[in-house]
Amino acid sequence: MDICWLCVILAGIAVYLLTQFIRFIFADADLTLLWAHKELSCQLAALGARLVLSARRENELERVKRSSLKAEDILVLPLDLLDRASHQEKTATALKHFGDIDVLINNGGRTQRSLCIEADVDVYQALMELNYLGTVSVTKQVLPHMIRRGSGIIATVSSVAGFVGVPLATGYAASKHAVQGFFNSLRTELADYPNITISTICPGPVISTIVQNAFTEELGKPVDTAGDQTHKMSTERCVHLTLIGLANHVKEMWIAEQPFLLFCYLWQYTPTLAWYLTNVLGKKRVQNFKAGLDADSAYFSKPKVKTT
């Protein structure tokens, strides 16, 4: 009888592990985030969000506001991450308008498409000023308000490049590694404030305009072509998963389709194997870049030659 029960228990464990393995194969986010999915509706309903939209292009912010069903709950507040002297005033304006800041989402930044050997140091400085110091500056303005209240969420869009080596993006990866280090350290400093959530969001390839706006080897030099973006995760899916994570106060989210999600796990748990595979794919990526092919879509399918 005892042996029968043991067989049942082992069979149950085997079925559970097989189920999770199948889920992982078809996953586009880490398992912690996927397990939190059921809480989305009730958490978002409880938020009753009012928005402060900030970026440099005010006309784009106004367009987003006009497309909203509740435009009266949106404040357009133009902000330049590089103008750190203005961040205190901008924060004060938001607080005066709404009274509180419950959630800060840091989502500003630019990526990079250039080889280290060819890139000017000015490009690296610009990446750190924008992606890292600009984010830190805004966070430092909002954080004291959350500490006084004893609650809040600071969510920062980092990248898989925040903990993975990425060829053609040495400066971008460095800036995102810095972001990860800052917020991981800040999270421990706020241990006495358990109701303040520090969440870092690490997407893999996602459809966006980030490639079109990437830094190249020289400041002011645009990317030749962004290439085909259709193979990447949709923006809607990435945002949906991000909201699930924020609603459940997930500290770090990996959002990527396979096989990129697998690489996240390999870098986290088997770095030696991850280095080997990254070197293989990274070498191919650099070769494609030098040959004028699209760097992003050339990993697992035959790349299309760039046209002029």
Banded pLDDT at 150 (limits 50, 70, 90): very high
Average pLDDT of the segment spanning 220-235: 75
Distance CA 131, CA 120 (A): 17
Q: Return the percentage of the chain with pLDDT > 90, whole number.
A: 43
pLDDT at 301: 54
Helix 87-98, helix 135-149: angle, nearest 10: 40
Question: Annotated catalytic residue: which of 172, 265, 269, 299?
Answer: 172
Known catalytic residue at 193: no
Q: Is the dihedral of CA 110, 205, 168, 182 positive or negative?
A: positive
How many whole angstroms separate alpha carbon 206 and alpha carbon 297?
12
* Mean pLDDT within 62-86: 81
CA atoms within 13 A on the CB side of 3: 0
Average pLDDT over residues 111-136: 95
Judged against a pLDDT cut of 90, whether residue 294 lies above it is answered with no
Mean pLDDT of 88-93: 95
Q: What's the topology of domain 8-270?
A: Rossmann fold (3.40.50)
* Residue 112 backbone class (left: φ over 0; alpha: ψ -120 to 50; beta: rest): beta
The whole-angstrom separation of Cα 128 and Cα 175 is 5
* pLDDT value of residue 39: 38
So what's the pLDDT on residue 207?
78
First-last CA distance in the chain: 74
Distance CA 248, CA 268 (A): 22
Measure the CA–CA gap between 212 and 6, rounded to whole angstroms: 58
Give the per-residue pLDDT at 299. 59
Q: Would you state the structure tokens that stand for residue 157, as one six-digit string?
A: 């869009």
Q: Are 167 and 113 in contact (CB under 8 A)?
A: no
Question: Averaged over 26-33, what is the pLDDT?
Answer: 52
Is a pLDDT exceeding 80 seen at residue 69? no
Query: What is the residue whose two structure tokens read 């990129």?
Result: 260
* pLDDT value at 289 more than 60: yes
Give CA–CA dist 176/244, Å, rounded: 22
Residues 158-215 have pLDDT tens digits of: 999 999 888 999 999 999 999 999 999 999 999 999 999 999 999 988 877 777 788 8
Is residue 179 within 8 Å of 162, Cβ to Cβ? yes
Whether the pLDDT of residue 9 is over 90: the answer is: no
Distance, in Å, from the CA atom of 61 to the CA atom of 13, rounded to the nearest integer, reads 51
Q: What confidence score (pLDDT) does residue 302 get?
A: 56
Q: Provide the pLDDT for residue 33.
A: 53
